[in-house]
Amino acid sequence: MRAADESLDLTGVPCPQNAARTLLRLGGMDEGEVLKIILDDGEPIELVPESLEEEDYPILERVQLDDGRWALWIEAY
């Protein structure tokens, strides 16, 4: 797992609020900085990466955690 400049725990946050919060945070970061987000399994991990790709944010790493949630590292531009 890689280092992150900022992190955002979106556990329990429903769609599409989790995607909106992620995009808002990324928009306030400097180019090249990395945001780590934590998402629930199911709909969030299916929909949030799709939203990021639509906005051309590269997902650097995606790891399922022991508790079933997911960690994603996204590069800001």
Report pLDDT for 1. 75
Q: With the CA atoms of 34, 1, 41 and 35 taken in that order, what torsion angle do they form, in degrees rounded to the nearest 10?
A: -10
Tell me the whole-structure pTM to 2 decimals. 0.95
CB count within 10 Å of CB 5 equals 13
What residues of the chain score a pLDDT lower than 50?
Answer: none
pLDDT on residue 47 = 96
**Structural domains for the chain:** 6-75 (3.30.110.40)
User: Residue 18: which residues within 8 A CB-CB, separation 6 or more?
Assistant: 10, 37, 39, 44, 48
